[in-house]
Amino acid sequence: MRIIKPIFFTFPPENIPYPFILLNMNKINQQIRYVKRYKDQIRIIILDAGVEIFRNSNIKDYPEGGKGRIDKIVAIYWRLKNITKKVEIWPVIADYPDDYTPHQLWINNEITNIERTIENIIYATDYYKEIPWLIPIQGHFKKPKSITRTLTILEELGIIQKYQKFAIANLCTESDSNILYTSIKLARDFLGHKKWIHVFGPKLKSLHKIKHIIDSFDSTSWTRPVSPILGNWSCKNQFERVLFFTSWYLRYLEIVKN
């Protein structure tokens, strides 16, 4: 087992320069001001598709459809490249999660969130071959082995051979660290150690268990660090944003130091 320190991606307080940035397609017009301000300090940007819209159980697709969302992601990618020049940008192909409301995004038992995500991956990699995609690996809610279906299909399509970076995308709401570990370990065993594995949204308390088998992860939960002292308090002003971010980041460093 390799010993690595996973990179933490986030969108930090606006007055703190940070090298590993997570941008959200649903907030891009506000967030791009930060990119312009700190373009010389930023090293890598992950451009996320904005799947949080599916927290609303009545929403079944992106407003412009999956392919339309991919087209918009590509347009923003080139806009960011024009601003940042040398910064690495990893756009995420628009995917369909199953962990906000299970089966919400299934068409039927044959066309689940996995098949819909793969359809988008095929479109993105066929029509935008020049984009350094971060390939989402989807699965079914609380079913770790389901990601092997995605991985197997992507291998058959030649996607795994062509691309270097993959993101486990079915664990954003998962609180069970054993499910997190099992899912990620399945992906690591399948992909091997030469591929980059990113994980979307794991809880910080789970990082102890998964830190040696991932390359990076993201979170914005520092804005609402539920704790015995603060309770369920979310940051309300710039001072609290800086305080909460700094506190959360120090906890992250403590976890990954060994």
The domains of the chain are located at: 7-256
The pLDDT, as a whole number, for residue 205 is 87
CATH 3.20.20: does it fit domain 7-256?
yes
Let me know: does 160 contact 188? Beta carbons within 8 Å. no
CA atoms within 13 A on the CB side of 249: 16
CA distance 78 to 115: 28
Res 2: pLDDT: 44
Nearest to 184 by CA among 158, 215, 161: 215
Taking every pair of C-alpha atoms in the chain, what is the biggest distance, in angstroms?
51
Q: What is the pLDDT of residue 225?
A: 66
Token pair of 188 as six digits: 């690591």
Give the whole-angstrom CA distance, residue 246 versus residue 15: 12
Single-letter amino acid code for the residue at 176: D
Quote the CA–CA distance of 167 and 5 in Å, as a whole number: 17
How confident is the model at residue 228, as a pLDDT?
A: 56
Q: Taking the chain (258 residues) in consecutive chunks of 10 residues, what is each chunk's mean pLDDT? A: 76 96 96 97 98 96 98 98 96 97 97 98 98 98 96 98 97 92 97 96 92 95 69 80 90 89
**Angle between helical axes of 65-84 and 28-38 (0-180°, round to 10):** 20
Q: Are 93 and 49 in contact (CB under 8 A)?
A: yes
Q: Residue 1 has what pLDDT?
A: 39
Other CB atoms within a 10 A radius of the CB of residue 158 amount to 10
- Judge whether 140 and 102 are in contact, CB under 8 Å: yes
